[in-house]
């Protein structure tokens, strides 16, 4: 790791000020991606601004129609939250399978979303559930937030403060992990929303990061059953291919995982 | 440079370190506690697992400065009064270690697992919960047995005679 | 021989464990020396390139930097090239072609990660900062990574010494009789078999701490070694670091080796040299990325195998051609692995009248390849057992019965490929495994799995290995540069406590327990009165170290010889003290007794008498301390049967090992608990090879699986709990009857897993690792092929 300057932010405003004052600052949310990247000397921020001691960024609360999760809430806290388990069991299960137990004690939802790793789990839930990302300055609907691999609609220096999820009638996530990294090779979040609509979001498999699959959504809106997905092909040309699996394999896995998520919705 | 003070195994430790100092470096080089190991550089192997404020974390994936003000427990702080922690004792009893390098992280992960989930723990749960800890020697067989036995003992359940 | 509750065969918990479970283990990177500086290496990002310039001026000016040292200074100081210590001759009689390997390279780099310079600075981070600031310019050259490609005309050439990248073209066995067997065969099974490249991945990365004492002209090296005496020998005799008496090598607690810590690497050489050069103790500790790039890799064979059967399905001949990838340089024992450690095991457990094997060893722009757990024997076993399973399927025989039909049953059995099997009962281990797995019930289990949508398969592996390396004269005649004996010293202290100094090194094997069990068994003394000392050339007289499952069969045999001498002297002294005939003295339960009388003397009193020397037999020297060297008379031949049952999810291709039975014959077992642990670990490494692990390079020689993000290490949820059992035929070649158990699991398991998968999916077209993607692909191809028919 290159030398850096550590800041412990006391408030979001403080964090914003420190970030603005840094030559090449980075926000440190859980650090479970940023710190390994810095250790490999693949990132060299002049300053890191630690958000995890800001009380306003923590906690899980039931809102009128859903749940609001502070950006610095850890994966373990989301997985263990009674509110999340009751309203969005798929989201709780997803959080409970991110990384490993030690990672889940440090990694945060805000950090995961800001990084938008194409194999991260949370983006699929955010997109499928139509969550709203709250930042220090504005609110961004999920559709507008994700902008391809490791890219988001966040402005330079913009800090995520919370994510607000609407409740769903049913939700489930099925992930096929990369055997080595255990990141998603194909992770599919299926949500059945209050209006009867179904949304299917896929992470890990696509070349441009998380995406929705409209063909599956339409099929499931008509018949919310795994069989409804029979014969719905995922375009392999848009899938990633690497030493762990071909694009064809990933395309196939997307359908398999989608079926499993539907089945898990019960 | 950062002045970092934390409580390690019940004792206050203060050091002035570079901001880039990882918690594991602070523990090994600053506090002289070399039981916590580094086995990879991608935050996956778990040889460095310690408890920060009661929760298992990878000390290679946390800056020392982030842990300032925290209570840290390392493998050296687990036994009390010369008596091995039940998980330590179970690892010995069930031959859950060979070269010993992954062992401190394994034990700290196992203690955290049992603290969170209670006991007795079944094999599938233990294997899933060990996702963040890699061992190259034991094939995990006896680590799983050791954790199962310790979780049962800690839950006050007598293990079935084998 | 007496016995005790803590003796041979007792399931004693390990004495070394307390320090490990409390964080008090002391590994190389835990060591500190006052004034210690830290080394960081500047490494090539290219697989093959000319070094055109190196500018260290900026790095030298950075804070905390003591020195930046390069190849030029290393050569000027006369530090020798790295060597391969086992001479192999090609079939035309020419010696192997060894390219020059410098610890720091200044001219042509030949694999990614090769060191070109070293920075010494006051902290590891500042050393790394400065290493990044060393400006090296390269002129990239074409690279070749696959051994078959490297042999093709026009392939990039690595070393001027090795034309066509060919290191040797070696053969074993009789080609004419083998060809004749094929000419008259009723059936021939042919296969192309790939053995995937692996990265050893001991959890403790390599490390070295070197300290030079200018006044004494003496070096101390703490290092992650399985054989500190061999390290000292090589560093002094070949690399000109220092004469042996001026070099102390200490291998303290070592966090696993699996072969990768046998070898002497550039980094410890450079630390020693840099310590003298800078006047500072110099420490280097690899990070995992460096481990992936520089620890000797394992396996990496391409083979063609043909098995000839007669009309009665008896094997009449076996013909093998193998191309072995040795990487960019010849590591210390690399030449022996695909030859004498591999092709000599091609007879498997079977009576095969004619075998011929041809092995070509090849340079490529990849990390050097050398011994990794099993070293040659897993490659042989995989080949033999994949071919046996396939042949059985082709001729329509039950795979267990086909093997049984061809088993060796009379011993000693001379194979056509050097080895002479001394003892074994292959039916016994096959029967034990078949019974344990409930072979008769497999069809019902398969049907039940099918009802759940799963493909269930069963696969066999009847492995044999050669351990306990090795008779020095024999290996010398085959090209080894060293003898492969072991030494021991037994020191009985005046109060009767015993220290055993051994040249074997323990890095997870539990020698501090098992070696003490031997002493306890022999003398009837408590384990708590015995200490095992190892890993320090200043303490232990000499040793060849721990690899090839040799510490029991060879290391303990040396201890037995020393114990024999101690016992003989102590009995003579006890006889004198008790005024009895020497032949009437027995040693039982820690007490010397005179047979037929009630006279006795406790062990410690005899020890004390040896040191007070007030009352000794005429001519006896004071003291009770004896040393011994043991040179094996033969290899040992552990063998067994592994049966694996898998269930495959056809939707994802994921393989689950639902049952794994291992029936091993290791001869005499000192501590069943520790032996089981060795098998568990070996099985998991073998299953890792079969299902998960692969060192994959791109065509430019970049290691694609260079971290745990892409190199799939077996984790707890990848493997099952195992069912182990042993059958016993003792080894006639050594005093305890031991065969060795350290590598069997890794040797025997890969073919059992792959045979089970190919049984489940009904297709034999599968290479290791059988990842979910690969299995899914194989299932899909099988279905496509079926549909086309």
Upstream peptide bond of B120 is cis (omega within 30 degrees of 0): yes
Question: CA-CA distances (angstroms) from residue A26 to A15, A21, C47?
Answer: 10, 11, 34
Whether B70 and B105 map to the same domain: the answer is no
Residue of A nearest to C713 (CA): A180
- The backbone torsions φ and ψ at residue C657, rounded to the nearest 5 degrees and listed phi first, read -85, 110
Residues of B in contact with C288 (CB under 8 A): 39-42, 45
The predicted pLDDT at position C1 comes to 41
Residue of A nearest to C709 (CA): A181
Q: Kindly report the nearest CA distance between residue C190 and chain B, in angstroms.
A: 34
The predicted pLDDT at position B161 comes to 41
Complex prediction ipTM: 0.97
Q: Do A180 and C772 touch (CB under 8 A)?
A: no
Domain boundary among B41, B57, B77: B77
Task: Note down the domain range covering B116.
Answer: 86-154
Helix (H) or strand (E) holding B153: helix B141-154
Instruction: Tell me the pTM.
Output: 0.97
Please write the tens of the pLDDT for every residue from A99-155: 999 999 999 999 999 999 999 999 999 999 999 999 999 999 999 999 988 999 999
Distance between CA atoms of residues C119 and C130, nearest Å: 7
The predicted pLDDT at position C786 comes to 75
Q: Kindly report the nearest CA distance between residue C195 and chain A, in angstroms.
A: 17
Please write the tens of the pLDDT for every residue from C547-572: 988 999 999 999 999 999 999 999 99
Q: Domain A55-166 - what CATH class? A: alpha beta
| SS3 at position C218 | strand
Distance between CA atoms of residues C725 and A81, nearest Å: 46
Domain boundary among B43, B77, B111: B77
> Is the confidence at residue A234, as pLDDT, over 60?
yes
The bridge status of strand C530-533 relative to strand C498-502 is parallel
Numbered ranges of CATH 3.30.365.10 in chain C: 17-24+485-630, 298-469+634-788
Express as a percent the part of chain C with pLDDT over 70.
99
Name every residue whose Cβ is closer than 8 Å to that of residue B124 and which is 6 or more positions away in sequence: none
Give the number of C-alpha atoms closer than 13 A to the C-alpha of residue C276, restricted to the C-beta side: 22
Lowest mean pLDDT among A148-152, B34-38, C128-132, C591-595: A148-152
> Is the confidence at residue B160, as pLDDT, over 80?
no
Q: Do C710 and A40 touch (CB under 8 A)?
A: no
Distance between CA atoms of residues C505 and C253, nearest Å: 9
Residues of C in contact with B102 (CB under 8 A): 203, 255
CB A255 within 8 A of CB A229: yes
Calculate the dihedral angle through the C-alpha atoms of A147, A148, A150, A155, rounding to the nearest 10 degrees: -20
The predicted pLDDT at position A249 comes to 98
Please write the tens of the pLDDT for every residue from C442-474: 999 999 999 999 999 999 999 999 999 989 999
Comparing C288 with C782, which gets the higher pLDDT? Answer: C288
Whether B102 and B127 map to the same domain: the answer is yes
Selecting from 3.40.50.10540, 3.90.79.10, 2.40.110.10, 3.90.1170.50, what CATH number does the domain C31-141+203-256+261-294 have?
3.90.1170.50
The predicted pLDDT at position C500 comes to 98
Q: Kindly report the nearest CA distance between residue C104 and chain B, in angstroms.
A: 24
Count Cβ atoms below 10 Å from residue C785 Cβ, excluding itself.
Answer: 11
The predicted pLDDT at position C782 comes to 84
CB C57 within 8 A of CB C49: no
Mean per-residue pLDDT over chain C, rounded: 97
> Is the confidence at residue C3, as pLDDT, over 90?
no
Helix (H) or strand (E) holding C602: strand C600-602
Name every residue whose Cβ is closer than 8 Å to that of residue C746 and which is 6 or more positions away in sequence: C373, C374, C378, C682, C683, C685, C686, C689
Selecting from 3.30.365.10, 3.40.50.1110, 3.60.70.12, 1.10.8.60, what CATH number does the domain C17-24+485-630 have?
3.30.365.10
Q: What is the mean pLDDT of residues A31-55?
A: 96
Nearest by CB to residue B84, choosing from C21, C676, C708, is C21
Residue of B nearest to C23 (CA): B35
Name every residue whose Cβ is closer than 8 Å to that of residue A98 and which is 6 or more positions away in sequence: A75, A104, A107, A112, A120, A121, A122
CB C512 within 8 A of CB C504: no
Distance between CA atoms of residues B107 and C395, nearest Å: 51
Residues of B in contact with A3 (CB under 8 A): 18-20
Q: Do C773 and A245 touch (CB under 8 A)?
A: yes
The crossing angle, in degrees rounded to 10, of helices B103-117 and B86-93 is: 120
Q: Do A35 and B41 touch (CB under 8 A)?
A: no
> Is the confidence at residue C2, as pLDDT, over 80?
no
Question: What is the number of residues in chain C?
Answer: 789
Q: Do C24 and B76 touch (CB under 8 A)?
A: yes
- Of A180, A173, A224, which is closest to residue A202 (Cα–Cα)? A173
Question: CA-CA distances (angstroms) from residue B71 to B12, B74, B113?
Answer: 9, 10, 18
Those chains having 3 or more beta-carbon pairs within 8 angstroms of chain B are: A, C
Those chains having 3 or more beta-carbon pairs within 8 angstroms of chain A are: B, C
The pLDDT-based confidence of C4 (bands split at 50, 70, 90) is low
Q: What is the mean pLDDT of residues C289-304?
A: 98
Chain C contact probe: residue of B101, B108, B113 with most C CBs at under 10 A: B101
> Is the confidence at residue C590, as pLDDT, over 70?
yes
Residues of C in contact with B99 (CB under 8 A): 202-204, 253-256, 507-508
Q: Do C508 and B134 touch (CB under 8 A)?
A: no
Q: Do A100 and B55 touch (CB under 8 A)?
A: no
The predicted pLDDT at position B158 comes to 42
Residues of A in contact with C771 (CB under 8 A): 179, 244-245
Residue B37 included in any domain: yes
Whether B70 and B99 map to the same domain: the answer is no
The pLDDT-based confidence of A196 (bands split at 50, 70, 90) is confident
The dihedral built from the CA positions of residue C199, C202, C203 and C207, taken in this order, carries a sign that is negative
Q: Do A101 and B132 touch (CB under 8 A)?
A: yes
Residue B159 included in any domain: no
Q: Per-residue DSSP letters for B37-48? A: ----SSS-S-TT
* Contact B129/A at CB under 8 A: yes
Those chains having 3 or more beta-carbon pairs within 8 angstroms of chain C are: A, B
Please write the tens of the pLDDT for every residue from A82-103: 999 999 999 999 999 999 999 9
Beta strands in chain A (DSSP E): 5-8, 25-28, 47-50, 60-63, 66-70, 132-135, 139-141, 160-166, 170-177, 184-192, 198-203, 211-212
Residues of A in contact with B42 (CB under 8 A): 36, 40
* CATH (residue range A5-50): 3.30.43.10
* Contact B67/A at CB under 8 A: no
Count Cβ atoms below 10 Å from residue B15 Cβ, excluding itself.
Answer: 16
CB B147 within 8 A of CB B111: no
The pLDDT-based confidence of B157 (bands split at 50, 70, 90) is low
Distance between CA atoms of residues A145 and C154, nearest Å: 52
Q: Kindly report the nearest CA distance between residue C113 and chain A, in angstroms.
A: 15
Question: CA-CA distances (angstroms) from residue C418 to A15, C90, C224, C608, C637?
Answer: 73, 17, 34, 50, 13
* Contact B65/A at CB under 8 A: yes
Q: Kindly report the nearest CA distance between residue B82 and chain C, in angstroms.
A: 10
> Is the confidence at residue C23, as pLDDT, over 80?
yes
The predicted pLDDT at position C387 comes to 98
The pLDDT-based confidence of C113 (bands split at 50, 70, 90) is very high
Please write the tens of the pLDDT for every residue from C77-94: 999 999 999 999 999 999
The predicted pLDDT at position C710 comes to 97
Whether B67 and B118 map to the same domain: the answer is no
The predicted pLDDT at position C784 comes to 79
Residue C637: burial class (beta carbons within 10 Å; 0-12, 13-18, 19+): buried
| SS3 at position A70 | strand
Domain locations in chain A as residue ranges: 5-50, 55-166, 170-265
Residue of A nearest to B69 (CA): A53
Fold of A170-265: Enolase-like; domain 1 (3.30.390)
Q: Kindly report the nearest CA distance between residue B33 and chain C, in angstroms.
A: 8
**Structural domains in chain B (count):** 2
Question: CA-CA distances (angstroms) from residue B93 to A228, B158, C672, C673?
Answer: 53, 15, 13, 10
Chain B contact probe: residue of A34, A37, A77, A102 with most B CBs at under 10 A: A102
Residues of C in contact with A2 (CB under 8 A): 129
The pLDDT-based confidence of C375 (bands split at 50, 70, 90) is very high
CB C733 within 8 A of CB C422: yes
Please write the tens of the pLDDT for every residue from C242-270: 999 999 999 999 999 999 999 999 999 99
- The backbone torsions φ and ψ at residue A85, rounded to the nearest 5 degrees and listed phi first, read -60, -35
Token couple for A160: 């995520």
Count Cβ atoms below 10 Å from residue A21 Cβ, excluding itself.
Answer: 11
| SS3 at position C723 | strand
Q: Do A36 and B42 touch (CB under 8 A)?
A: yes
Whether B103 and B60 map to the same domain: the answer is no
> Is the confidence at residue B159, as pLDDT, over 80?
no
Q: Domain C298-469+634-788 - what CATH class? A: alpha beta
The predicted pLDDT at position B58 comes to 98
Please write the tens of the pLDDT for every residue from C729-764: 999 999 999 999 999 999 999 999 999 999 999 999
Question: What is the number of residues in chain A?
Answer: 266
* Contact C680/B at CB under 8 A: yes
Mean per-residue pLDDT over chain B, rounded: 95
Beta-bridge partner residues of C457: C646
Rounded to a whole number of angstroms, the CA Rg of chain B reads 16
Q: Do C773 and A180 touch (CB under 8 A)?
A: no
Whether B65 and B90 map to the same domain: the answer is no
Domain boundary among B77, B95, B118: B77
Q: What is the mean pLDDT of residues A215-240?
A: 96
Question: What is the number of residues in chain B?
Answer: 162
Q: Kindly report the nearest CA distance between residue A221 and chain B, in angstroms.
A: 34
């Amino acid at each position: 790791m290159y030398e850096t300057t550590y800041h412990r932010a006391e408030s979001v405003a403080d964090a914003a000020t420190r970030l603005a004052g840094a030559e090449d600052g980075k926000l440190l949310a859980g650090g479970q991606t940023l710190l390994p990247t810095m250790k490999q000397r693949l990132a060299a921020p002049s300053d890191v601004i630690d958000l995890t001691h800001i009380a306003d960024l923590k906690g899980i609360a039931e809102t009128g129609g859903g749940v609001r999760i502070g950006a610095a809430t850890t994966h373990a806290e989301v997985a263990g939250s009674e509110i999340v388990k009751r309203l969005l069991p798929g989201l709780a299960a997803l959080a409970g399978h991110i990384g490993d137990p030690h990672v889940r004690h440090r990694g945060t939802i805000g950090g995961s979303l800001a990084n938008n790793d194409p194999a991260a789990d949370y983006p699929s839930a955010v997109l499928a559930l139509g969550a709203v990302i709250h930042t220090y300055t504005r609110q961004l609907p999920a559709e507008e937030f994700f902008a391809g691999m490791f890219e988001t609609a966040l402005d330079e220096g913009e800090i995520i403060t919370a994510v607000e999820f609407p409740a769903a009638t049913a939700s489930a996530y099925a992930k096929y992990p990369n055997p080595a990294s255990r990141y998603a090779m194909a992770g599919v979040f299926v949500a059945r929303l209050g209006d009867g609509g179904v949304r299917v979001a896929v992470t890990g498999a696509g070349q441009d990061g998380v995406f929705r699959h409209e063909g599956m959504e339409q099929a499931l809106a008509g018949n919310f059953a795994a069989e409804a997905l029979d014969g719905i092909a995922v375009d392999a040309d848009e899938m990633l291919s690497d030493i762990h699996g071909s694009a064809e394999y990933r395309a196939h896995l997307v359908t398999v995982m989608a079926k499993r998520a539907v089945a898990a919705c019960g | 440079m950062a002045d970092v003070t934390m409580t390690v195994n019940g004792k206050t430790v203060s050091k002035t370190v570079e901001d880039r100092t990882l918690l594991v470096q602070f523990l090994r080089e600053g506090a002289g506690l070399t039981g916590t190991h580094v086995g990879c550089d991608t935050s996956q192997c778990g040889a460095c697992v310690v408890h920060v404020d009661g929760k298992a974390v990878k000390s290679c994936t946390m800056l020392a400065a982030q842990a300032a003000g925290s209570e840290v427990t390392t493998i050296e702080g687990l036994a009390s009064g010369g008596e091995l922690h039940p998980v330590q004792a179970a690892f010995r009893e069930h031959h859950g270690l060979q070269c010993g390098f992954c062992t401190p992280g394994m034990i700290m992960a196992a203690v955290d697992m049992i603290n969170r989930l209670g006991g007795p723990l079944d094999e599938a749960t233990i294997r899933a919960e060990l996702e963040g800890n890699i061992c190259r020697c034991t094939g995990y067989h006896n680590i799983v047995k050791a954790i199962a036995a310790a979780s049962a003992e800690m839950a006050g359940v007598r293990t079935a005679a084998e | 021989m007496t016995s005790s509750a803590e003796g041979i065969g007792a399931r004693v918990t390990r004495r070394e464990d307390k320090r490990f479970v409390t964080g008090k283990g002391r590994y190389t990177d835990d060591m500190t020396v006052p004034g210690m500086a830290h080394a960081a290496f500047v490494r090539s990002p290219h697989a093959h390139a000319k070094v055109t310039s190196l500018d260290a001026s900026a790095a030298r000016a950075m804070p905390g930097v003591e020195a930046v040292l390069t190849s030029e200074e290393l050569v000027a100081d006369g530090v020798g090239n790295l060597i391969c210590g086992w001479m192999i001759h090609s079939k035309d009689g020419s010696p192997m072609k060894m390219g020059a390997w410098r610890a720091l390279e200044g001219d042509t780099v030949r694999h990614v990660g090769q060191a070109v310079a070293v920075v010494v600075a006051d902290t590891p981070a500042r050393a790394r900062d400065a290493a990044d600031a060393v400006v090296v310019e390269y002129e990239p050259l074409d690279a070749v990574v696959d051994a078959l490609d490297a042999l093709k005309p026009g392939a990039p050439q690595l070393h001027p010494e090795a034309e066509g990248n060919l290191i040797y073209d070696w053969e074993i066995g009789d080609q004419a009789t083998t060809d004749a067997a094929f000419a008259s065969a009723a059936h021939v099974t042919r296969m192309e078999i790939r053995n995937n490249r692996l990265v050893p991945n001991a959890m403790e990365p390599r490390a070295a701490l070197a300290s030079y004492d200018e006044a004494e002209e003496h070096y101390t090296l703490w290092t992650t070694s399985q054989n500190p005496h061999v390290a000292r020998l090589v560093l002094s005799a070949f690399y000109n670091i220092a004469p042996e008496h001026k070099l102390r090598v200490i291998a303290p607690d070592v966090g696993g080796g699996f072969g990768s810590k046998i070898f002497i690497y550039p980094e410890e050489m450079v630390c020693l040299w840099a310590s003298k050069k800078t006047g500072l103790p110099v420490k280097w500790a690899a990070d995992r990325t460096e481990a992936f790039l520089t620890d000797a890799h394992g396996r990496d064979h391409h083979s063609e195998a043909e098995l000839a059967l007669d009309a009665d399905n008896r094997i009449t001949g076996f013909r093998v051609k193998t191309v072995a990838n040795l990487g960019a340089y010849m590591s210390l024992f690399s030449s022996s692995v695909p030859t004498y450690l591999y092709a000599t095991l091609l007879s498997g457990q079977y009576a095969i009248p004619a075998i011929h094997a041809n092995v070509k060893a090849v340079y490529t722009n990849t990390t050097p390849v050398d011994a990794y757990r099993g070293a040659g024997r897993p490659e042989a076993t995989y080949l033999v057992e994949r071919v046996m399973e396939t042949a059985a399927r082709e001729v329509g025989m039950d795979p267990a019965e086909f093997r049984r039909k061809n088993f060796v049953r009379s011993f000693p059995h001379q194979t056509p490929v050097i080895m002479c099997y001394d003892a074994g009962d292959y039916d016994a281990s096959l029967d034990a495994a078949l019974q344990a797995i409930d072979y008769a019930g497999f069809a019902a289990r398969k049907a039940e799995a099918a009802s759940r949508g799963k493909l269930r398969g069963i696969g066999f592996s009847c492995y044999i290995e050669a351990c306990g390396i090795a008779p020095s004269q024999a290996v010398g005649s085959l090209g080894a540069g060293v003898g492969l004996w072991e030494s021991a010293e037994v020191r009985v202290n005046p109060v009767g406590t015993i220290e055993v100094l051994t040249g074997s090194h323990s890095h997870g094997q539990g020698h501090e327990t098992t070696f003490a069990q031997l002493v306890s068994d022999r003398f009837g003394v408590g384990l708590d009165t015995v200490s095992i000392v190892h890993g320090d050339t200043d303490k232990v007289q000499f040793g060849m170290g721990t690899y090839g499952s040799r510490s029991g069969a060879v290391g303990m045999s040396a201890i037995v010889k020393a114990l024999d001498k101690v016992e003989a002297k102590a009995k003579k002294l006890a006889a004198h003290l008790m005024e009895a005939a020497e032949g009437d003295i027995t040693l039982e339960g820690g007490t010397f007794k005179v047979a037929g009388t009630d006279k006795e003397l406790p062990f410690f009193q005899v020890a004390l008498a040896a040191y007070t020397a007030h009352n000794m037999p005429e001519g006896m020297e004071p003291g009770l301390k004896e040393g011994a060297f043991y040179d094996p008379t033969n290899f040992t031949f552990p063998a067994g049967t592994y049966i694996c049952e898998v269930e495959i999810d056809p939707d994802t291709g994921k393989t689950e090992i639902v049952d794994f039975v291992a029936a091993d014959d290791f001869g005499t077992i000192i501590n069943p608990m520790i032996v089981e642990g060795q098998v568990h670990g070996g099985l998991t490494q073998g299953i890792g090879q079969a299902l998960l692990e692969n060192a994959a390079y791109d065509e430019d020689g970049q290691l694609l699986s260079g971290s745990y993000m892409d190199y799939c290490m077996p984790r707890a949820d990848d493997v099952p709990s195992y069912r182990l059992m042993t059958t016993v035929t003792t080894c006639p070649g050594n005093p305890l009857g031991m065969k060795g158990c350290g590598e069997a699991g890794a040797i025997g398991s890969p073919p059992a897993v792959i045979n089970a998968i190919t049984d489940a999916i009904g297709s034999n077209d599968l290479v290791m690792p059988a990842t979910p993607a690969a299995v899914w692909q194989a299932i899909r191809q099988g279905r496509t092929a079926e549909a086309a028919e």
